């Protein structure tokens, strides 16, 4: 089991991950984070060896086998316009990308919330905003990373779409070190956003390592599907898409599903 001392050996943060709550088995780290968020310090991390009700984006279930991955949530209190909170998902994806790079793994970001290695998903992010009252809120960012899953751990419908870092590397991943790397990189990218609303470095990382840019995609919103081509990621973190009718739109994180025409990004 991951323990706090092993994580702390690798941490360089000021506040993210300095308070960690570890669980052997839990319904969902996001659910637990919501329960304690009001009284918890910002940057508190809830981590579990196993989730029995793990969730991904759009209500999809998230497979979280015991001792095989990194399943954790970070409690955040940015006190910014709630309309800007979707950007935190991009910060999380960029932080995971940078952490994997430190471990010698090349990855790409599937806007807005997935990290992909060799064309298959290894990480998903679910960011939720919870209102305390009319004037205040907190943010829970859940991250799931397929660290040490074996091929046999994936359901048949996922075998061609998902992979693990262990499968990629051919060796066990030190989950404590990986978690610390993610938290270290997240804090570096999050502080400029919280203090100055600056996500320029996050946008740079996301743009340079995108799996979607300059590709044909399907945009699905309110059960209406449109086809277009991605052009860019703007400085607000919106995906710029030129549709078949020639109209160019900025797509906001969280309001659509973006699906590529082939391979993993079809899903």
Q: Are residues 94 and 181 in the same domain?
A: yes
Q: What is the mean pLDDT of residues 54-69?
A: 67
Q: How far apart are CA 257 and CA 220, in angstroms?
A: 5
- Rounded average pLDDT over 119-146: 90
Strand duo 108-110 + 70-76: pairing: unpaired
Answer yes or no: do 34 and 145 share one domain. Answer: yes
Q: Sign of torsion, CA 232 234 237 238?
A: negative
Q: Which domain holds residue 222?
A: 216-266
Point out the domain boundary residue: 189, 208, 227.
208
User: Which CATH number covers residue 88?
Assistant: 3.30.930.10
Overall domain count for the chain: 2
Q: How many CA atoms lie within 13 A of 259 on its CB side?
A: 14
* Confidence label for 96 from pLDDT (cuts 50, 70 and 90): very high
Q: Clarify whether residues 70 and 163 are in a common domain.
A: yes
Range 165-188 average pLDDT? 97
| 56 has a pLDDT exceeding 60 | no
Q: Is there a single domain that holds both residue 183 and residue 233?
A: no
Of 208, 229, 248, at which residue does a domain stop?
A: 208
| Domain match, 75 and 190 both | yes
Q: Residues 118, 239: one domain?
A: no
> What is the structure's pLDDT at 192?
97
Q: Calculate the CA dihedral of residues 199, 183, 117, 32 and round it to 10 degrees.
A: -100
What's the mean pLDDT in 146-163?
88
pLDDT tens for each residue of 159-173: 788 999 999 999 999
Considering 166, 189, 208, which residue would you say is the last residue of a domain?
208
The pLDDT of residue 1: 80
């Amino acid at each position: 089991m991951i323990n706090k001392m092993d994580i702390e050996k690798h941490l360089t943060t000021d506040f993210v991950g300095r308070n960690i709550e570890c669980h052997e088995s839990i319904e969902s780290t996001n659910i637990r984070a919501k329960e304690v968020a009001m009284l918890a310090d910002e940057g508190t991390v809830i981590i579990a060896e196993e989730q029995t009700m793990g969730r991904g984006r759009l209500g999809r279930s998230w497979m979280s086998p015991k001792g095989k991955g990194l399943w954790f949530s970070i409690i955040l209190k940015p006190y910014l316009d709630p309309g800007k909170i979707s950007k935190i998902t991009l910060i999380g994806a960029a932080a995971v990308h940078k952490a994997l790079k430190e471990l010698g793994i090349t990855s790409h970001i599937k806007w807005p919330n997935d990290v992909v290695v060799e064309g298959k998903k290894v990480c998903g992010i679910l960011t939720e905003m919870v209102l305390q009252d009319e004037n205040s809120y907190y943010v829970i960012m859940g991250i799931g990373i397929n660290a040490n899953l074996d091929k046999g751990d994936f359901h048949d419908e996922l075998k061609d779409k998902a992979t693990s870092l262990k499968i990629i590397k051919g060796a066990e991943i030190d989950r404590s070190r990986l978690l610390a790397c993610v938290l270290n990189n997240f804090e570096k990218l999050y502080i400029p956003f919280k203090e100055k609303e600056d996500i320029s470095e996050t946008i740079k990382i996301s743009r340079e390592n995108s799996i979607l840019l300059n590709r044909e995609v399907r945009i699905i919103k309110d059960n209406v599907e449109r086809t277009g081509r991605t052009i860019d990621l703007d400085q607000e973190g919106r995906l710029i898409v030129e549709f078949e009718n020639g109209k160019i739109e900025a797509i906001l994180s969280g309001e659509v599903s973006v699906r590529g025409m082939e391979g993993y990004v079809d899903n």
